Structure 1
Amino acid sequence: MSTKNPRRAAFDILLRIEKERSFADILIDHELSKELIKGADRGLLTELVYGVLRRQATLDHIVGQFSKQRPEKLELYVRLLLRLGIYQAFFLDRVPVSAAVNETVNLAKELAPRAAGFINAVLRSADRGRDGIRYPDPAEQPAQYLAARYSHPQWLTAQWLEQLGLEDAEALATAMAEPPPFTIRANTLRIGRDQLMERLGRDGISCTPTAWSPDGIRLNHSGAVTRLAAFGEGLFTVQDESSQLAPLFLTPGKGDQVLDACAAPGGKTTQIAQLMANEGDIYACDVNQRKLRLIRETCDRLGIRIVRTFTMDASSPSNAIREVKFDRILVDAPCSGLGVIRRNPEGKWWKQPSDLEQLSVTQFAILENLAEYLKVGGTLLYATCSTSVIENEAVVDRFLVRHPEFEAEDLRPLFPQFAPLCTERGYFRSWPHRDGMDGFFAARLRKVE
């Protein structure tokens, strides 16, 4: 039996996220580490927190259909309790509606006793009226419809509509409201993908090869992968498939000098080392010194010896690389993360359109600063995990205008196996609903003079 109510723990975590802008994964890990929630309740806690965050706008929309007060006008405690109750009643098949209502009302009697009757009435009315819930007309108000139906900020659904049209944007909105796939990358310095899959199978882990990355494996049940013996032996690291493709486009080779300018947490850094057969030099830089420690720990676990770490603001000149000219530079630029919002769903509610413009200024400054550190004939790969044009094509276009010594290379003839993932301009752009991986962008720039 659990010694702590998982629903109460989920409420406490959601409350902290609302008040402090804390990150869900850190709070969940901290709660589970106490070992006060056991068995299936551990999974329920995680499901409730991430589910409410992913479906927040839809949950509020449903509440608004059955409450005389608009959801944003309700007290925070009441709003969170209603979200928890509605999520269980509408989105969790394994929780009976009666249990969803009763457990939420019991929690309300403890946390918001004056509102317990109101919460009970709204939950029961919503259950009775679920077939009559109305959403905006997708033909008349497509952005509002996608925002309410699939729970995303309206400014973001409007952006997706402009990029994709309604049918594709709805498919993307659907995918972005679902849990993401869990993908790892085989450490080919120690083991091949097929051999690793056999090893995982013997350990009871169900898995399949990724469709695009030659070293990727999708786990059908993630669990605590860091506890697996294969992880401790340095046979793999966790990395989404889209992220695994960026180092392939960089094409680092044995003996190269490579700069990974925004390296943390190090997934691409270690993959570059694999592609270099652990021969050459990689300068892994990041503005956050604490995150560099994570890179060093990962390199040690994977047996990688060619990575040097430096604290550096990639948008400003640095003594760490002042005398070096690189064969390859990877700029995995700080971005809005719009392509990975299903992994960090709390973040989508914190972002604003103005953030994209501010980030694009930083992204351009990074490219400007690093351009001089690349050898003539060298390759710079600009990448983000954002779906926005402002942070991607627009930044590259501005850079190319200012730097005629660079040209954008069309990835399609260079990597015909990845041509279906490329845009008409030859940039890599993956979409979760089409490609089964995170939203990602990459442009390959060559210094020609």
Structure 2
Amino acid sequence: MSAPDLKRSNPRQSACSVLLRIQREGCYADQLMDRELESGGLTGPDRGLFAELVFGALRRQGTLDHILSSLLTQPLSRLEPQALILLRVGLYQLVYLDRIPESAAVNESVNLAKKTLPRASGLVNAVLRNYLRRGDDIPFPDPLAMPAESIAARHSHPLWLVRQWIDQLGVEEAEALAEASSRQAPLALRANTLAISRDDLLVKFSTNGIQATPCRFSPHGILVEGRHQITSLPGFHEGLFAVQDEASQMAGLLLDPRPGERILDACAAPGGKATHLAQLMNDRGELLAMDVSGVKLPLIQESAHRLGISIIRTRRADLLNSAAFPVDSFDRVLLDAPCSGLGVIRRNPEAKWRLRPEDLTRLAETQRRMFANAVRMLKPGGRLVYSTCSTSREENEAVLHAFLSRQDGVILEDLNQVYPCWSELFTREGMLRSWPHCHGMDGFFAARLIKR
């Protein structure tokens, strides 16, 4: 039975349907989940369980598949995709959700299999009950003899990615990163200081019974505890805040745009950084938010309208086209380049199972071309921030150094000297490197350059 034929009457069935579409069609989890929730079929606690099952099964897919491989006599590749999804969702409840009784997790999974894929119901029942008998004896790779394989299996990441992290950080720190990257990301907001101070926003949240604390580095950021529907948080409709991770906020702060300047956000959709730049400019000057996707541009204007921002103009344009703008056009340029997203796999866990090492090489070539065109549009004496939400050296330092080796008209600034208060976030070369396991924010890279 195909995914569109499933009638989604409960959170487990809805979760299986979404996961099956992600696997078959390469869809994005958050978009499919939003559509499912907007349909109104799930209410109350069922909405939370649905989200937990989808994101949990994606975050822990590698570990779940490792366990299933020990419980099955056939390779996972020979299972019907829908049967594999049923097994992952059922097993996730047994391994990771203590509040769901084991009997309920098994029975609900078997009943769902009978309803949606009857021929797999016996398999689902046998495998899940086998786990209850043998779960404590499932073998995992030896962490001393096979560190990469052990980390990949226990913390649920592709083996190639774990090996890359070990090459960058060493085994101990790579494991800490892997563990942090398989957990749920915190909810980070940015106070819209055009309308309210961060302190006053924290008071407003506290008055409404919502626990929130200031971010460590961003003067505009707050972390909200618990799970919340964003549009129901106090102040959302009044434009008092925007959803934006603290690492992403750092990009705008490093660009440091001034009121009255002409600013380019070169890859702006969906607009979180663009609205932050306008906020830093006190909504005075000119801010061009450019993106190759015309479909996403309205999202930027919608956010700007809600936040009371008037200086943002949007334009559909491809930064790979060197004739997109004349030379020396902007005082400052933010190039938040399209990347693998390895630093945000806590938020988009489906991405780590879709990516391959060769994708990073392809993206790095695109980033180098964008870099050259972005610098071309920067005024002499102007500043450019190059940033990605990737942990990969290939998309970050390698792109930057390759560009600098061919250009003598651009200088890399040492951020340690410019912002000593944030030195914990900077490398020896003076570039920003944030890590989930060290700083509690997304994995992010940023470097600031000056055009001679």
Q: TM-score range by the shorter chain?
A: over 0.9
Native 8 Å contact 2:205 2:234 kept in 1: no
User: Is 1:444 aligned with 2:437?
Assistant: no
Q: State the alpha-carbon separation in 2 of the partners of residues 193 and 8 from structure 1.
A: 41
Kindly provide the CA deviation profile for residues 416-443 of structure 1, in whole angstroms up to 9, marking residues without a partner as x.
1110111121110000011000000001
User: Is 1:399 aligned with 2:408?
Assistant: no
Q: Counterpart in 1 of 2:425?
A: 421
User: Is 1:156 aligned with 2:161?
Assistant: yes
Q: Counterpart in 1 of 2:15?
A: 10
User: Is 1:303 aligned with 2:308?
Assistant: yes
Q: State the alpha-carbon separation in 2 of the partners of residues 114 and 279 from structure 1.
A: 64
User: Is 1:105 aligned with 2:110?
Assistant: yes
Kindly provide the CA deviation profile for residues 197-228 of structure 1, in whole angstroms up to 9, marking residues without a partner as x.
11122222221111111010111124112233
Q: Counterpart in 2 of 1:81?
A: 86
Q: Counterpart in 1 of 2:5?
A: none
What amino acid is the match of 1:212?
F
Say which of 129, 135, 151 aligns to 1:130: 135
Q: Counterpart in 2 of 1:256?
A: 261
Identity in percent: 52
Output aligned runs, 1:19-418, within 5 Å: 19-319=24-324, 321-322=325-326, 325-418=329-422
Kindly provide the CA deviation profile for residues 292-340 of structure 1, in whole angstroms up to 9, marking residues without a partner as x.
1111111111111211111111121245x32652111100000000000
Compute the TM-score of the two structures, normalised by the length of structure 2.
0.96
Q: State the alpha-carbon separation in 2 of the partners of residues 379 and 286 from structure 1.
A: 20
Kindly provide the CA deviation profile for residues 29-68 of structure 1, in whole angstroms up to 9, marking residues without a partner as x.
1111122212111111110011101111110110111111
Native 8 Å contact 1:325 1:373 kept in 2: yes
1:376–1:324 CA distance, 2 compared to 1 (3 A):
closer
Native 8 Å contact 1:312 1:318 kept in 2: no
Compute the TM-score of the two structures, normalised by the length of structure 1.
0.97
Kindly provide the CA deviation profile for residues 12-31 of structure 1, in whole angstroms up to 9, marking residues without a partner as x.
11111111111111111111
Native 8 Å contact 2:328 2:376 kept in 1: no
Q: State the alpha-carbon separation in 2 of the partners of residues 45 and 222 from structure 1.
A: 13
1:298–1:202 CA distance, 2 compared to 1 (3 A):
same
Q: State the alpha-carbon separation in 2 of the partners of residues 127 and 300 from structure 1.
A: 53
Runs of 4+ in 1 over 6 A off after TM superposition: none
Native 8 Å contact 2:433 2:446 kept in 1: yes
Q: State the alpha-carbon separation in 2 of the partners of residues 277 and 299 from structure 1.
A: 13
Native 8 Å contact 1:315 1:367 kept in 2: no
Kindly provide the CA deviation profile for residues 145-170 of structure 1, in whole angstroms up to 9, marking residues without a partner as x.
11111111111011001011111111
Native 8 Å contact 2:327 2:376 kept in 1: no
Q: State the alpha-carbon separation in 2 of the partners of residues 113 and 294 from structure 1.
A: 43
Structure 1, gaps ≥5 residues long: none
RMSD: 1.3
What amino acid is the match of 2:381?
G
Instruction: Give the total of aligned pairs.
Output: 445
Q: State the alpha-carbon separation in 2 of the partners of residues 275 and 108 from structure 1.
A: 53
Q: State the alpha-carbon separation in 2 of the partners of residues 191 and 417 from structure 1.
A: 24
What amino acid is the match of 1:283?
L
What amino acid is the match of 1:398?
A
Q: Residue 402 of structure 1: CA displacement?
A: 1.2
SS of the equivalent of 2:205 reads: helix
What amino acid is the match of 2:368?
F
